[in-house]
Structure 1
Amino acid sequence: MSMPYLSGSAICDVGKRFGLALEYEGMKSRWSYMYDLIDLGIGSSNISDVLSYLFDESNFSKCIPSSLTNEEFKEYYKRSVESAIGRINSLLHYSGKELVIKNDKAVLVSRNKEEIELSLKNIPTINRDYIKRVAENAIDNIERSNYDSALTQARTILEETFCFVLEQRNIQANNKGNIKNLYKEVKNEYRMHFDEKADRRVKKLLSGLENIVSAVAEMRNKSSDAHGVGENRLTIDKHHARLAVNSAMTMADFILSVEKKANGKLDY
């Protein structure tokens, strides 16, 4: 079961349908264009309309074999959409939201605490391999000059890591979307700034973590228009984008080590 195949140019056409500035250049992979489409949709608040269009039954009728009966087609369509939404919701877990289809409209709704706790066992662990995969995707975006997407992924690395280590202490993160406050929660819970025995040079090194969180938050602030123009538009060079991603990856790795050590795990 899968979503309808869309070429890079077709994905760009979907963007234009909703007034999104997505141009086909022929140099990027389809998944990269799709990532840009979703990212632009979120930035312009059109994501619900974009997803509703992608999940529309009419798009499936164009690519599913005509040999299927009407009932078989309906079942294929239902399972394909359910599978896609399930994968999306696994990624949305730490946001406390989930994607649902209501009246043929794709919408994000809040999940109650019980649902989140019950689904924890089905969510992949945030570990070094996961961080490495996200960072590698971000570096791929940088090589394709998709700096906005790379910065979003740098932020995601930090936010999901902070939420994960808090949940290891059975704490539901209260500041989703605000990575500065999330980091403060992590610091307080794991008493990262209470080690009086730490060497002053180590403390100085640790103080630099604040700057990483602050910089990544400001470079890709969810409340700002990352795709806008004018003085609020972030101008960034390739090596700066790479620095942001690598800094986020290094910090996330350190935070995972803090959690492991604090919780008595030997592989920190």
Structure 2
Amino acid sequence: MITLIEKVTLLQQILIARATHKHAENDIDEFLKLRSELISQQSLKKIIPSILKTSRTLDQFWEQIKQKFEHYSERRNYIYSEFHPLLEYLENDTNAPSDQIVTNVIGRLDSGYIHIAWQKALERRTVDPEGAITIARTLLESTCKHILDEASVEYGNAPDLNHLYRLTAKQLNLSPSQHTQPIFKQILGGCTSVIEGLGALRNKISDAHGQGKLNVKPSSRHAELAVNLAGTMAVFLFSTWELRNEPDVES
């Protein structure tokens, strides 16, 4: 199966061939197919080459490139520079070992929506920090609802994340008030603070709400923190739920 980076590289080669009069007849259809697939990748929209956004066909690209540059070498260098950010992003392995741990746990669930939410969160950490923070909270909301649904616990029509987590923590015996040991109360209180912090971060600097004149823009490190925390909490909640539902093993 051809990878995304191979498809992007092929697109670059097709454009260079057209810009230097070396294109083949089947390049027209191949360009249309590959361009359509790449443009549909919302997580990459900020680093997709501008020439792909403005050129819907090879003929449109040709009209632009021949007016912009006279020499082949200039055209090639321009195309290389346009594709460089996207190829550099795709070539860098942005997945940490912890990403795979979360992916494995979520993969055991029968919820396609949660699978998609986690993949979107991973994809957006670098290229769309605001969107990543929004989807990180969505992941936690979906996690809590999934567990509460399986436990047949009602949570209302439009609960906020904090309410969902309180219900879930109570169901899983993870509320600080359900424990007497200071260390467990401290750790579980920290989990509650993480949930509250992610909700507040999403409301403050994500793309979920409109911003005023002095708005704050999150960076990729903010998004990475939010996604990693959300993934870690999702694993903790799902693992606890699975453990509580394991049948007793007779010795």
Give the alignment's TM-score, normalised by structure 2: 0.49
Give the alignment's TM-score, normalised by structure 1: 0.46
Indicate the structure with greater strand content: 1
Indicate the structure with greater helix content: 2
